Amino acid sequence: MAKSAYIHIPFCAHKCDFCDFAAFAGLDDLSDQYTKTVISEIEGRLKEQPNNHKLQTVFFGGGTPGYVDPKQLGAIIASLDNETGLEKDAELCLETTPQTITVEKCKQWQSFGIKRISIGIESLNDKELIALSRGHTREQARAGFATARAGGFTNIALDLMYGLPEQTLESWRQTLDDLLALEPEHISAYGLTIAENSPLLIRYPRESDVYPDEDTFVLMYETLVQKCSDAGLFQYEIANFAKAGYESKHNLTYWKNEEYLAFGVSAHRYYRGTRSSNFRSLRRYMRDYLLDETSESIDEQTKMKEAIFLGMRLRQGLDLKIFQRDFGVDLTQSRASELEKLQDGGFVEIADQKLRLTQKGVLMSNSVLSELI
């Protein structure tokens, strides 16, 4: 049974040029009806397939969940609590942009049990923020963090990106120094990926020299790892860093390949051995919220490959004993030649019955993992 649930809130004040998620600006008039639809989906799906376990994590992603009326989030949380239950100490988290944060909203969010907030900062360089068409400035980003603290949040995660147009190694270092000085509990940092039809590509084609080159991109990642370590944030996943005890419990559900519920437009779930997703079209979802746009039964072989791919993202590595218990396969025997090659190349290591990527392996993780799966 699932111990986690993801809720997609698609509304934004402004959609960034790089965004490839189901996010919509200018449709605020639909938010009340959307909330009712999500609640109907929760009730309908859990009536068809009850989840006999209280939820330990709930994550509101988007879009910009922090943009909508907090009461709408509260109504969704109440529905989840009614249909499947919430653990008393459940981790409830929402994503937001810094300029949407107010002290009043913080108090409302916390009254519904939301104790963790993830702020999409991306950069603290105004030139880079303009290039991304972000809706905030450097000062608004800093002010948003300060407001969240003033509003009572003691568990704040910051989301960053690197490899941006107009970004240099020095500007990246400055962004990290300035943000780490705020002493957040968690940082997630991902290299920029651009969808084929992204408006960003119109202004900055892939071949443009405004993007950092490959060597600089690698140095940016290495700088990220070192600066976070120096600031007391340990790396627990390839792109995630946290103070002790502040790891994202919700995201660990994904990386441990555990099942989870998901509701809302375009939401993807893994439940009762099936991965499925809702319609990406907002109006189609609101009309047919109990139908799936995609659905795939996960067989044992696929589940095993996913366990390797996801587990190896964790810096503690893949627990070989648990893997053998779950799948009846000793990876050190079944992948002996591949592992020998990767160990000789310095890409993976085995210690304390954990198979993990080295820092060298992290930089080539997709290629390394393809050798194993």
Q: What is the CA radius of gyration of the chain?
A: 21
The answer to whether the beta carbons of residues 146 and 99 sit under 8 Å apart is no
The pLDDT tens digits for 50-104 are 998 999 999 999 999 999 999 999 999 999 999 999 999 999 999 999 999 999 9
What is the per-residue pLDDT for 336? Answer: 93
Q: Dihedrals φ, ψ of 150, to 5°?
A: -65, -30
What pLDDT score was predicted for residue 268? 97
Specify the amino acid at residue 297: S
Closest-CA residue to 126 (of 145, 139, 108): 139
- What per-residue confidence (pLDDT) applies to 94? 97
CATH top-level class of 4-255? alpha beta
Q: How confident is the model at residue 221 (pLDDT cuts 50, 70, 90)?
A: very high
41: confidence class by pLDDT, cuts 50, 70, 90: very high
Residues of the chain with CATH 3.20.20.70: 4-255
Write out the residue limits of the CATH 1.10.10.920 domain(s) in the chain.
Answer: 318-373
> What CA–CA distance (Å, rounded) separates 206 from 201?
7
Nearest to 235 by CA among 317, 172, 156, 173: 317
User: What is the CATH number that goes with domain 318-373?
Assistant: 1.10.10.920
**How confident is the model at residue 58, as a pLDDT?**
98
The arithmetic mean of pLDDT across residues 207-236, rounded, is 94
Among candidate residues 92, 147, 139, 145, the one with its CA nearest the CA of residue 120: 145
Instruction: Tally the residues of the chain.
Output: 373
Query: pLDDT tens digits, residue range 306-358?
Result: 999 999 999 999 999 999 999 999 999 999 999 999 999 999 999 999 999 99
